[in-house]
């Protein structure tokens, strides 16, 4: 009886000193080394998880000098290549403008091909290019936009301006000598072009 009472008193003191049962888990205050070791383990684990989460959140930046960027290839149908070439040649026209010209030419009397070619070639940009005074369409576009052309003695800078039949297209006085000299260089010195103006244009120097 005395031994049982003494044992119960010992158990009561242990429970009173350690009510949470930390001695069973090895986390009692008396065992500070083990407690510190366990805290460091969980703290390091928390830090590593936080770092890994930040790495997943940040996008990876590829180095352009190492990674070969693969450009996507655009596939075109060979059926429509001629339409694209014509569009690139005329520079300032879009597909809907080609369709609009075709509808207008279809409503007129006569040959559809003649009216449609007149609508395409009868603009200031192509009219200047067909004269042969400029080397390419880009130079003709620069002349038109810089107001170096006059149509029936009116200065115009709209490239798609229609030139009517029997209209007079002239170069500005300030640019005329330069155009003549560049034409002479292309014809005689470089021999890069032939001065063959179309028959529907009368050129007067």
Structure tokens at 92: 């300032």
Q: How far apart are CA 15 and CA 13, in angstroms?
A: 5
Q: Average pLDDT in the 150-165 region?
A: 88
The radius of gyration of the chain's CA atoms, rounded to the nearest angstrom, is 44
Residue 106 pLDDT class (50, 70, 90 cuts): very high
* Coil vs helix vs strand at 129: helix
User: Regarding predicted confidence, which is higher, 11 or 154?
Assistant: 154
Helix, strand, coil percent values for the chain (each to nearest 5): 55, 5, 40
Whether residue 6 is predicted with pLDDT greater than 90 in this model: the reply is no
Confidence of residue 64 (pLDDT cuts 50, 70, 90): low
Residue 107 has a pLDDT of 92
> What is the pTM assigned to this prediction?
0.58
Asked whether residue 99 carries a pLDDT value surpassing 50, the answer given is yes
- Cα distance between residue 23 and residue 34, in whole Å: 11
Q: How confident is the model at residue 67 (pLDDT cuts 50, 70, 90)?
A: low
Average pLDDT of the residues in 54-71: 66
pLDDT (mean) for 49-66? 70
The reported pLDDT for the residue numbered 47 is: 84
Look at residue 3 and tell me whether its pLDDT is greater than 50. Answer: no
The per-residue pLDDT for 12 is: 46
169: left (phi over 0), alpha (psi -120 to 50) or beta: beta
Mean pLDDT, rounded, of the chain = 77
C-alpha to C-alpha distance for 164 and 34, rounded to whole angstroms? 101
- Which whole number is the average pLDDT over 32-50? 73
How many other C-beta atoms can be found within 10 angstroms of the C-beta atom of residue 140? Answer: 23
Class of domain 122-205: alpha beta
144 to each of 48, 86, 155, 172, 178, how far by Cα in Å? 68, 20, 9, 11, 15
Instruction: Give the mean pLDDT of 159-165.
Output: 88
Q: Is the pLDDT of residue 39 over 90?
A: no
Q: Count of CB atoms within 10 A of residue 148's CB? A: 20
pLDDT of residue 15 exceeding 50, the answer is no
Q: Where are the domains of the chain?
A: 84-121, 122-205
């Amino acid at each position: 009886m005395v031994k049982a009472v003494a044992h119960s008193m010992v158990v009561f003191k242990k429970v009173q000193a350690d009510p949470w049962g930390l001695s069973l888990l090895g986390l009692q205050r008396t065992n500070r080394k083990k407690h510190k070791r366990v805290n460091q383990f969980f703290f390091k684990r928390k830090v590593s998880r936080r770092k890994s989460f930040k790495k997943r959140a940040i996008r990876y930046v590829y180095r352009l000098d190492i990674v070969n960027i693969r450009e996507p290839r655009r596939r075109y149908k060979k059926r429509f290549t001629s339409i694209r070439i014509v569009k690139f040649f005329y520079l300032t026209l879009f597909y809907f403008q080609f369709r609009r010209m075709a509808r207008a030419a279809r409503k007129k009397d006569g040959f559809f091909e003649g009216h449609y070619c007149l609508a395409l070639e009868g603009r200031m940009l192509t009219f200047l290019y067909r004269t042969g005074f400029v080397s390419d369409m880009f130079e003709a576009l620069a002349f038109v936009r810089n107001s170096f052309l006059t149509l029936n003695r009116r200065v115009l800078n709209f490239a798609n301006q229609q030139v009517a039949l029997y209209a007079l297209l002239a170069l500005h006085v300030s640019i005329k000598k330069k155009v003549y000299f560049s034409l002479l260089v292309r014809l005689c010195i470089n021999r890069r072009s032939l001065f063959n103006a179309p028959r529907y244009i009368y050129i007067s120097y």
